[in-house]
Amino acid sequence: MHTQFSSDIERMRFAPECEVALFRLAQEAVNNIVRHSQATKVTLAVKNLGNEVLLTVEDNGCGFDPARARQRGMGLQNMHERAAAVGGTLRIVSHPGLTRVEARVPIRPEGGGPRKLGAV
């Protein structure tokens, strides 16, 4: 599977609960792609929107009905709950050839503001 990643957050750190939520959301989305989508391409992007971080995970797989899948399994429900636990939102759009997971998480700065790694 061809995978691409992009980010404009260069070496910035945020509150641990935000970082963990974003990591786990990406992890679950990619796990679902591998297990269910039959995709040949996946793209992950992390973007700083000022007051929030946008995580996008997109694939070119077979698609699914997000409402039905959320009722049947715990994975998507857990993703929605994980985003909500840090004040964020999760949006899923899917049809054959495209599934896009978008998680928006408010930036909760560690120590009063985002900081670069190695900064005191």
- For residue range 73-107, what is the model confidence (pLDDT) as tens digits? 678 889 999 999 999 999 999 999 999 999 999 98
120 — pLDDT class (breaks 50, 70, 90) = very low
pLDDT at 110: 58
For the chain, which residues make up each domain, given as ranges? 2-97
> Residue range 47-51: average pLDDT?
91
Q: So what CATH class is 2-97?
A: alpha beta
Residue 93: phi and psi, rounded to 5, are: -120, 130
Give yes or no for residue 36 having a pLDDT over 60. Answer: yes
Give yes or no for residue 111 having a pLDDT over 70. Answer: no
pLDDT at 68: 83
Any bridge partners for residue 94, and if so which? 99
pLDDT at 59: 98
Calpha distance 64→120 (Å, rounded) = 46
Give yes or no for residue 15 having a pLDDT over 90. Answer: no
Give yes or no for residue 62 having a pLDDT over 60. Answer: yes
Look at 13-17, 28-32, 106-110 and tell me which has the smallest mean pLDDT: 106-110
